[in-house]
Amino acid sequence: MSNIEISEEELEAIEKELKQLDEERVRKVSEKAEKTYEEKKPKKIEYRKTTEGITRISTGVPELDEALEGGIPKGSWVAITGEPGTGKSILCMHFAWAGLQAGDPVVYVTTEAEFRDVVRQAKMFGMDFERYSIYDISSAKEPAETPNIVVIDIFGLLKIARQMSETIADAETAKKRRFAALDIQTLVAAIHEAYKILGVLKEGGKSPIRHVRLIIDSLSAFWADKPAMARKYSYELKIATHRENVTAYLVSQYAMTTRSTFGFGLEHIADGVFHLWMDEVETKKEVIRYMIIKKMRMTNHARYAFKVEIEPGKGIRLEPIK
């Protein structure tokens, strides 16, 4: 067997070629891995962006943002309608959580549950509200710092009602006002107080100087004993609190017997309506939830329904039904 002699120059050339081939192989493997990651990674939520001159506010649910061409137009009032158990309150949690991550102050009115239960449930879906500063308006103490969230529950509403009664001279009228927690005027005063606590009002002003997310879960509680007044109360609330710098979620319960809104009017004055429902459980023998965007002013939106999945550690995930 003859010996083949290779010069130093030839050896260097071979080593250089092998190195180039190895680098090319690594580059292709890396590109393939990066492509696979991009295809499989969760969609990134853009908490606020502007398209066609409209500032869009994230719902906190990527599929819903996509269905709204990037999010809810800033300043919109969105009615969340549906029967119990369809996911309305979880949608509210997503909206609040997206706001906190975007740096938006949040006013969270809860008439259906104590806020500590909201916090506990949200944590199950990967949203830890306790990472932020929370102030309960019913507290006797002044906030030590400007909070990220101001909570208004039934006790906070009672506190505001009591304060309002102290300015009324007539004893009988003052007595009625003192216990009028579920009253639209009380709600308006509580929201205004929350804006002051968040530091988003100029002295003597009524309109927030920075964007605020307002959640009322649920508004139906304010006309539970007089549903015929729903439209009047909805208008009163909108006139008093609707501002360009406030994007709101307003939950409206559906009556189990009629499967229609409990109280008529909110859907008419709202800029958008997210409606949720479920299949008849006694027929299907399982819980299958759905959602559709019935309307949204100032933007195009998906016209098809979504199947709603509620997943531990994640919350709501929407699957289009086309």
Q: What CATH number is attached to the domain comprising 302? A: 3.40.50.300
Task: Tell whether 140 is covered by a domain.
Answer: no
* CA 225 to each of CA 36, 114, 221: distance values in angstroms, whole numbers, following the listed order: 56, 21, 8
Q: How many residues does the chain have?
A: 322
pTM listed for this prediction: 0.82
Task: Tell whether 281 is covered by a domain.
Answer: yes
Least confident of 16-20, 183-187, 228-232: 16-20
Average pLDDT over residues 30-38: 50
Given this model, what pLDDT does residue 261 score? 55
Domain shared by 16 and 119, yes or no: no
Given this model, what pLDDT does residue 44 score? 56
Local structure of residue 80 (DSSP, 8 states): E
Given this model, what pLDDT does residue 257 score? 52
Task: Tell whether 183 is covered by a domain.
Answer: no
Instruction: Provide the mean pLDDT of the chain.
Output: 87
Given this model, what pLDDT does residue 31 score? 59
Given this model, what pLDDT does residue 36 score? 45
Domain shared by 11 and 62, yes or no: no
Given this model, what pLDDT does residue 6 score? 60
Given this model, what pLDDT does residue 33 score? 46
Query: Does 288 have pLDDT greater than 50?
Result: yes
Domain shared by 224 and 298, yes or no: yes
- Hey, which residues does 134 pair with through a beta bridge? 149
Domain shared by 24 and 127, yes or no: no
* 54 vs 90, more confident: 90
Least confident of 39-53, 173-187, 228-242, 267-281: 39-53
Other beta carbons less than 10 A from residue 78's beta carbon: 24
Given this model, what pLDDT does residue 53 score? 85
Query: What is the separation of C-alpha 121 from the centre of its chain, rounded to a whole number of angstroms?
Result: 15
d(CA 65, CA 58): 6
- What is the b/e burial string over 236-251, where b = at least 16 CB atoms within 10 angstroms of the residue's CB? bbbebbbbeebbbbbb
Contact 243, 213 (CB under 8 A): no
- Map tokens 């004055």 to a residue: 269
* 262 vs 188, more confident: 188
Domain shared by 226 and 288, yes or no: yes
Given this model, what pLDDT does residue 256 score? 54
- Hey, which residues does 108 pair with through a beta bridge? 151, 215
Closest of 99, 76, 75, 95 to residue 87, by C-alpha: 95
Domain shared by 76 and 118, yes or no: yes
Domain shared by 17 and 99, yes or no: no
Given this model, what pLDDT does residue 206 score? 84
Domain shared by 217 and 309, yes or no: yes
Task: Tell whether 122 is covered by a domain.
Answer: yes
Domain shared by 11 and 124, yes or no: no
Contact 293, 302 (CB under 8 A): yes
Given this model, what pLDDT does residue 247 score? 97
Task: Tell whether 146 is covered by a domain.
Answer: no
Task: Tell whether 267 is covered by a domain.
Answer: yes
Domain shared by 292 and 208, yes or no: yes
Average pLDDT over residues 221-227: 82
Average pLDDT over residues 86-111: 97
Task: Tell whether 194 is covered by a domain.
Answer: no
- As given in the structure block, the two tokens for residue 249 are 């979620």
Local structure of residue 264 (DSSP, 8 states): S
d(CA 317, CA 265): 29
* 280 vs 259, more confident: 280
Domain shared by 26 and 57, yes or no: no
Domain shared by 225 and 299, yes or no: yes
Query: How many domains, the chain?
Result: 2
Given this model, what pLDDT does residue 30 score? 52
d(CA 41, CA 48): 21
Average pLDDT over residues 96-104: 97
Q: Which domain holds residue 285?
A: 51-132+204-321
Query: Does 148 have pLDDT greater than 80?
Result: yes
Residue 187's H or E segment, with its range, is helix 184-198
Contact 118, 171 (CB under 8 A): no
Average pLDDT over residues 18-37: 56
Query: Does 258 have pLDDT greater than 70?
Result: no
* 239 vs 100, more confident: 100
Query: Does 29 have pLDDT greater than 90?
Result: no
Average pLDDT over residues 254-271: 67
Average pLDDT over residues 65-69: 96
Local structure of residue 294 (DSSP, 8 states): E
* 170 vs 195, more confident: 195
- As given in the structure block, the two tokens for residue 7 are 């010069």
Closest of 206, 207, 101, 214 to residue 152, by C-alpha: 214
For 232-248, how does the pLDDT look when each residue is reduced to its tens digit (9 = 90+)? Answer: 888 899 888 888 899 99
Helical packing angle, 171-178 and 154-165, nearest 10°: 170
Task: Tell whether 28 is covered by a domain.
Answer: yes
Query: Does 1 have pLDDT greater than 50?
Result: no
